[in-house]
């Protein structure tokens, strides 16, 4: 990973091992959600720009839960990069590799994890000095077999597989030494957020952290 703030932020994602991908319909929902994530030991939050509440939710989480590493997800435009920065996002995640969006993040100093699922996109990232990439949609793009194929020619790249990952298969990804973290929404499902089921989100977050720690313990013993 890179040095300075970018390196620290992205290393923080790797330490956690799981990035919950969150959609909120109101900024107020972020208060209960943040409390549940922290209590469950899940200290990263990717709030997606798939709703108009994203900016307000990011700002609230940054203010009220300083222990959380809060990023902006589904960043699709330069305007959204600017909104993420204004809200105080610590990092940005994109579903694909849009050069204009990636360039805007780099120019502004906002750490970015762009989405890729092909060798050509990996090489676009390498040209810009990026070495942590989102592999999306993970399961639909070939899962762990495709990741192994990408790792071969690009051993310096670490990945955050996202898409089709949950508690049943996260271990198959996190045992790979070139997977920094996995992304998913199973512990922060929209229906749980809508119903204010914060205790269930806390339970699922705690379970996810435990599964990630166990997987990494098995996968890195011989490395």
**63 included as an active-site residue:** no
Residue 136 lies in a domain: yes
Work out how many domains the chain is built from and give that number: 1
Annotated catalytic residue, options 134, 139, 191, 202? 134
Tell me, what CATH number does 107's domain have? Answer: 3.20.20.70
Write down the number of H helices and E strands in the chain.
10, 9
Residue 220 lies in a domain: no
49 class by beta-carbon count within 10 Å (0-12 exposed, 13-18 middle, 19+ buried):
buried
**134 included as an active-site residue:** yes
Residue 36 lies in a domain: yes
Residue 194 to residues 131, 184, 191, Cα–Cα distance (Å): 36, 18, 5
Q: Domain range holding 70?
A: 4-215
Segment 12-68, tens digit of pLDDT = 898 999 999 999 999 999 999 999 999 999 999 999 999 999 999 999 999 999 999
Residue 16 lies in a domain: yes
Residue 8 lies in a domain: yes
Residue 132 lies in a domain: yes
Q: What is the dihedral of CA 73, 112, 78, 165, to 10 degrees?
A: -30
Residue 223 lies in a domain: no
Of 57, 100, 14, whose CA–CA distance to 188 is shortest?
57
Of 76, 131, 127, 126, whose CA–CA distance to 105 is shortest?
76
Segment 85-116, tens digit of pLDDT = 999 999 999 999 999 999 999 999 999 999 99
Annotated catalytic residue, options 8, 11, 25, 46? 46
Residue 221 lies in a domain: no
Classified as helix, coil or strand, 19 is strand
Mean pLDDT taken over the chain: 94
Residue 4: its pLDDT value, please? 62
């Amino acid at each position: 990973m890179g040095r300075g703030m970018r390196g620290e932020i992205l290393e923080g994602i790797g330490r956690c091992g799981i990035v919950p991908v969150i959609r909120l319909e109101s900024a107020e929902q972020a208060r209960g959600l943040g409390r549940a994530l922290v209590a469950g030991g899940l200290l990263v939050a990717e709030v997606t720009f798939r709703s108009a509440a994203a900016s307000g939710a990011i700002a609230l989480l940054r203010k009220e839960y300083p222990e959380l590493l809060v990023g902006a997800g589904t960043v699709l435009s330069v305007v959204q990069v600017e909104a993420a920065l204004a809200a105080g996002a610590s990092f940005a995640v994109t579903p694909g590799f849009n050069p204009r969006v990636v360039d805007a993040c780099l120019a502004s100093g906002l750490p970015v994890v762009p989405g890729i699922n092909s060798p050509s996109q990996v090489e676009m990232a390498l040209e810009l000095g990026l070495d942590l990439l989102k592999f999306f949609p993970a399961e639909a793009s070939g899962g762990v077999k495709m990741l192994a194929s990408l790792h071969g020619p690009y051993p310096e790249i670490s990945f955050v597989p996202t898409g089709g990952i949950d508690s049943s298969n996260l271990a198959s990804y996190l045992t790979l030494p070139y997977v920094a973290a996995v992304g998913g929404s199973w512990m922060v499902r929209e229906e749980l957020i809508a119903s204010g089921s914060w205790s269930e989100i806390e339970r699922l977050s705690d379970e996810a952290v435990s599964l990630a720690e166990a997987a990494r313990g098995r996968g890195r013993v011989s490395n």
